[in-house]
Amino acid sequence: MQQTHPNHHLSSRLVALIAGGLLVCATSSAQTFSLLNGLADYQVFQRGATDTVTFRVEGSATANGIVKVSVTSEEKLLENFNRLQIGTAAGGSWKGLISSLPTGGPYAFEFVLEATDGSKIASHIVQRVLVGDLWLLGGQSNMEGVGDMINVEEPSERINVYRMRHQWDEASEPIHRLYESVDRVHFFDRRGESPLPSLEEANKTAAASTKGAGLGLPFAKQMVARTGIPIGLVPVAHGGTSMEQWNPDHRDKGGDSLYGSFLSAFKAVGGKVRGMLWYQGESDAGNDELPKTFTPSFIRLVEAIRQDTGDPNLPFFYVQIGCVAETDPPCLSPPQTGTPFRISSAAVKH
């Protein structure tokens, strides 16, 4: 029978303690360097005129040093982004500038804090970042999503969504999740005064949904297929709402108004988008009078959105509201309202 040496158990405990100490040290090291603003997993940047984007990042660091970044796409280093120095860490914080990141992705970023001798102090990873086009999704139920959650569009690595909880995520149905909105105008009739659900709770609710498929994700997949440009979706629609509820005069109410909520999301994604998709009108076709006021209100809304986004030619695509039966109230069809002849359009280019 083999006999265990009396020091065997002591040695095992010592090894375990050393390993535990190393783990604590490694964890502490990782905690000395973090990214706070400017970039997040799944974020989508609106590309500029040169098909690139430049942005600032900042974070905290308990150690001084040099901040470098490496960017990869499909596990290959991006040209000119191999251990590129972008800033320095001092006094507990750091800032950096990432210039001319090209359209494409998904990109993975490794931020490294180095000592002056070149040794690695700590690092931080950000993944699934895209540079492409951002599209706002506005309107009511058909845009929010009323389709069955059966055979829905599958997610794509080149399409992400800015959830209504103001957090970037993979674009999966349902795109609109009003129950996790940070704005009262969206969440109050879903959860009352209850606090914002955790991401895990929100995902469970989404997984259990039987309705919620919309046109945002199919649109994005078609755009990627036709242009090759990555897409970021920014959902701001709300089912059952009227044109009056989208009145831009309510912008100062912030998250208590649909227009104010839209502006908040627009600013949160960087204040630049490629365009807006709009599907709304049923609530304004309910009697003989509302259709008469729809056209001027709609034109005013488009003008306000273009002014507040800083783009007088912002592409704005909307859907005709058709009749279901001959007994329907007056429909909001473009030939009747004359709307398409009074709102200038802008072609989408890539």
Rounded distance between C-alpha atoms, residue 318 and residue 294, angstroms: 14
pLDDT the model gives residue 31:
46
Residue 344 reports pLDDT greater than 70 = no
Query: How confident is the model over 184-218, as pLDDT tens digits?
Result: 999 887 777 788 999 999 999 999 999 999 999 99
Describe the chain by its helix, strand, coil percentages, rounded to 5.
30, 30, 40
Instruction: Tell me, rounded to whole angstroms, the distance of Cα 152 from its chain centroid.
Output: 20
**Domains of the chain with CATH codes:** 35-130 (2.60.40.770), 133-341 (3.40.50.1110)
Rounded distance between C-alpha atoms, residue 105 and residue 288, angstroms: 50
pTM of structure:
0.85
pLDDT the model gives residue 339:
56
Question: Quick one: tokens of 211?
Answer: 């309705």
Please give the single-letter amino acid code of residue 56: R
Query: How confident is the model over 144-190, as pLDDT tens digits?
Result: 998 999 999 999 999 999 999 999 999 999 999 999 999 999 988 77
Question: Quick one: tokens of 294?
Answer: 């729809």
Confidence of residue 330 (pLDDT cuts 50, 70, 90): low
Choose between 336 and 16: higher pLDDT. 336
Q: What mean pLDDT do residues 46-74 have?
A: 97
Query: Per residue in 236-253, is it b (16+ CB within 10 Å) or e — as a string?
Result: bbbbebbbebbbbebbee
Query: How confident is the model over 277-323, as pLDDT tens digits?
Result: 998 767 776 666 666 778 888 899 999 999 999 999 999 998 866 55
The two beta strands, 44-46 and 33-37, are unpaired
CB of 264 closer than 8 Å to CB of 181: no
Confidence of residue 19 (pLDDT cuts 50, 70, 90): very low
Confidence of residue 334 (pLDDT cuts 50, 70, 90): low
Query: Would you tell me how many other CB atoms lie within 10 Å of the CB of residue 178?
Result: 21
pLDDT the model gives residue 5:
46
Question: Quick one: tokens of 241?
Answer: 């709402």
Question: Quick one: tokens of 162?
Answer: 């800015």
pLDDT the model gives residue 281:
66
Residue 39 reports pLDDT greater than 70 = yes
The percent of residues above 70 in pLDDT, for the chain, comes to 79
Rounded distance between C-alpha atoms, residue 251 and residue 267, angstroms: 13
User: Which residue from 228, 180, 240, 188 is spatially nearest to 206, judged by alpha carbons?
Assistant: 180
3-class state of residue 280 by DSSP: coil
Lowest pLDDT segment from 84-88, 213-217, 321-325, 346-350: 346-350
- Phi then psi dihedrals of residue 7, to 5 deg: -90, 0
The mean predicted confidence, pLDDT, of the chain is: 86
- Phi then psi dihedrals of residue 286, to 5 deg: -85, -15
Question: Quick one: tokens of 242?
Answer: 């009227």
Question: Quick one: tokens of 157?
Answer: 């690595």
Q: What mean pLDDT do residues 225-241 have?
A: 96
Question: Quick one: tokens of 135?
Answer: 């599209």
- Phi then psi dihedrals of residue 299, to 5 deg: -60, -40
Confidence of residue 7 (pLDDT cuts 50, 70, 90): very low
